Amino acid sequence: MSKKILILAGDGIGPEIVAEAIKVLEAVRAPFGLDLTLDEALVGGAAYDASGHPLPEETLAAARAADAVLLGAVGGPKWEPLPIAVRPEKGLLGLRAGLGLFANLRPAILCPQLADASSLKPELVAGLDILIVRELTGGIYFGEPRGVTRLESGERRGVNTLVYTESEIRRICRVAFDVARQRNKRVCSVDKANVLECTELWREVATEVGRDYPDVALSHMYVDNAAMQLVRAPKQFDVMVTTNMFGDILSDAAAMLTGSIGMLPSASLNAEGQGMYEPIHGSAPDIAGKGIANPLATILSVAMMLRYSLHEAAAAQAIEDAVSRVLDQGLRTGDIMSPGMRQVGTVEMGDAVVAALASAG
């Protein structure tokens, strides 16, 4: 049966980078016998301009009906004066909530060719390949009670609540163990079980889930140690699974180990395996329309989509290999440029990946 992909290009550099990603998806369609139907819809500022809302009902309905969503980026200075309820970023949050995307997968991969881009010594990061699985719809960002109140003394008091149910922990841990099976079969569960009862429960449930995956090695680490280990010896990790807030912080730190925001894809999955795939960077309004944005994070998001929602691992691998070969050829967009390499624009980079796929034929 044909798999439905909804394309949401969004704002800023979104349409430029998504166009290259579609080219690459088209290039693997025939060789891997993929039966795909591609649809497009509006989201973010583009949707607001057309309909007065950053997530029109027809876009959410199309996303719900799709097997996977490919998103460029949303937002930009043009829409900053708008009320928060209709800002482009609300479109993104609405999609996450509307699709029930509770699992955020953020790889931090550093192609050996780009090891110099990291702030760490090249030998610490060359070949880095970590996947952080972050819980996305629970924890302290959503827990009740929350808010700022005034005490009788007149002093203000701020409250947020860290709360997880067993089932919320179990389902995110299952995602982590399932993806670890497709990788190096190691999961590190990150918590603060020595201080926070809620994450003591997290550790217990992670251990219980681990019993169903005897082929995957489970370890536990306190979040402060995990932060330290990420910058001390990041290659020790394979899959890390953690709470919403810890994952928010650790995944940004891990991304920066690679030194190249234009290279990193991400996936957000729901219980049915439906997913939204997007680069981790934003709409880069400073370079929008100039034809210089790096499309590789979006192209690698297509590879994640093929792997995790469409179960086409061979096509995903082919795209990742093609990106690696293009880097081997010395082609670089401005954000990853280094001396001796050849600087190319967005379209030329996309074309080079397509050519590398064809030559691998």
Smaller CB separation from ligand NAD, 213 or 308: 308
**Residues 248, 277, 308, 335: which is the catalytic one?**
248
Smaller CB separation from ligand NAD, 180 or 297: 297
Q: Are 113 and 327 in contact (CB under 8 A)?
A: yes
Residue 212 annotated to the active site:
no
Residue 192 annotated to the active site:
yes
Minimum gap (Å) between residue 277 Cβ and ligand NAD: 11
Residue 141 annotated to the active site:
yes
Minimum gap (Å) between residue 17 Cβ and ligand NAD: 6
**What does DSSP say about strands 275-279 and 342-343: parallel, antiparallel, or unpaired?**
unpaired
Minimum gap (Å) between residue 94 Cβ and ligand NAD: 13
Minimum gap (Å) between residue 5 Cβ and ligand NAD: 18
Q: What is the contact surface with ligand NAD in residues (CB under 6 A)?
A: 13, 17, 73-76, 89, 92, 261-262, 278, 281-287, 293-294, 297, 333, 335
Residue 252 annotated to the active site:
yes
Alpha-carbon span 110 to 117, nearest angstrom: 9
Smaller CB separation from ligand NAD, 114 or 206: 114
**Residues 48, 90, 192, 277: which is the catalytic one?**
192
* Nearby residues of 316 by Cβ (< 8 Å), 6 or more positions away: 303, 304, 306, 307
Name the residue type at position 38. L
Q: Where are the beta strands (DSSP E) in the chain?
A: 3-10, 36-40, 68-73, 103-109, 129-135, 147-150, 156-159, 186-191, 217-222, 239-242, 265-269, 275-279, 331-332, 342-343
Residue 90 annotated to the active site:
no
Minimum gap (Å) between residue 229 Cβ and ligand NAD: 26
Smaller CB separation from ligand NAD, 24 or 193: 24
**Residues 116, 224, 286, 328: which is the catalytic one?**
224
Q: Are 219 and 187 in contact (CB under 8 A)?
A: yes
Q: Are 218 and 251 in contact (CB under 8 A)?
A: no
Secondary structure letter of residue 15 according to DSSP: H
Give the containing element (helix H, strand E) for 189. Answer: strand 186-191
Estimate the crossing angle of helix 88-99 against helix 57-65, to 10 degrees.
40
Smaller CB separation from ligand NAD, 88 or 139: 88
As annotated, the active-site residues are 141, 192, 224, 248, 252
